[in-house]
Amino acid sequence: MDIVLTDWRGTFTSERPTLHSLPHPENPHYTHLSHMALQHAPHTQLHGVPELSQPSWKPIASIPAQSPFPYSAALLEHPTQARNIVLVTGDARTILHYCSLDSQTRYVIEQEIFTQESEGFFPIGIAFKHTHAPELSRDTIHELTLIGFANTSFELMQDASRIIRSLHEKKIQIKIVSPMALRLSQSIARNIGIVASEDVCVTGNNLALMSDNELREYIPRVNIFSELEFADEQRITRIFEEGGHQIIRHEFSRA
C-alpha cells in the first residue's frame, strides 16, 4: 500500500455535521420554517437540531436527496391554511439555483458561501414556496424563496493529525476524494496537516475535461479531489491502479 484514497468525512471528521445557527434568528416565522425544513426535508442528518414544539404543519410527501439532485424536499399541509408549503434543504449553491434572485443578490450570497466554506463551515441552504398542489415532484422545485443558510460544521477527530503524520512517515500518501465543496475540503485538509494549496487541488468538473492520459500525468501531484461524482472517484482509483500503485480506498459518502 502506498496511497490511501478517502473522503475526510467519517475518516478525519465526524460523519455528520453539527448545527450551530439558523438563518434570521430575529424572524420567528423563518426560524420555524427552518426548523421544519431540517426536520422534514433534511439534506443531511445534523447533530443539534431541536425538536419542534407542538408542530402544526404535517408532512404529506417528500423527495430524498439523490444524485444528481443534491437537495431534499417536503410538502406539508396545515389544518387551517388554504395552501400547502414546500420546504427544501440542500447544498448551498444548489438551493440558490432554484431560488428567484436578482444577479447582484445572487453574487453577494455566493461570496458569503465561499467565505463560510473557506473558514471550514458547511452551509446548508433552506428555501420554501407555497403551493395549492397536493403532490410533490421535482418539477415543483423552482422559483423558491430563499430563507438563508444553516451554519454547520464537521468536528475534527482528535487524532486526525497524528494519523496523517504517521502515514507520511511511512511514505504513504493521503489523497482526499470527496463530493464536498473544494473550499471546505481545503479547510479541513489544512487543519489535519494535508497540503491544500491551489496547485494540488482539482474538482470533478476539471477532471471531466481531461483524457485518461492527461489524468495519468496530472494526478500524482494532487492531494485533494473535490466536488466529485461517484464515477469520478472510480476513475481516479483506476488510473492510480493502472500506474502500479497499491491503493486503500474508502468510498465517499454520497449522502
Q: What is the pLDDT of residues 147-189, one digit of tens each?
A: 999 999 999 999 999 999 999 999 999 999 999 999 999 999 9
User: In the chain, which ranges are continuous DSSP H helix?
Assistant: 28-40, 92-97, 103-118, 160-169, 182-192, 204-208, 212-218, 230-242
Domain architecture of the chain: domains with CATH: 3-13+156-250 (3.40.50.1000), 18-153 (3.40.1110.10)
Query: Is the peptide bond preceding residue 179 cis, with omega within 30 degrees of 0?
Result: no
- 152 and 132 in contact (C-beta within 8 Å)? no
Report residue 18 as a C-alpha cell: 453539527
Region of residue 133 (phi > 0: left; psi between -120 and 50: alpha; otherwise: beta)? beta
Give pLDDT, residue 166: 92
Report residue 253 as a C-alpha cell: 459518502
Give pLDDT, residue 143: 95
Residue corresponding to grid cell 454520497: 254
Give pLDDT, residue 5: 92
Give pLDDT, residue 247: 80
For the chain, which residues score pLDDT lower than 50?
A: 252, 254-255
Give pLDDT, residue 255: 46
Give pLDDT, residue 67: 66
Q: How far is CA 40 from the centre of its chain?
A: 18
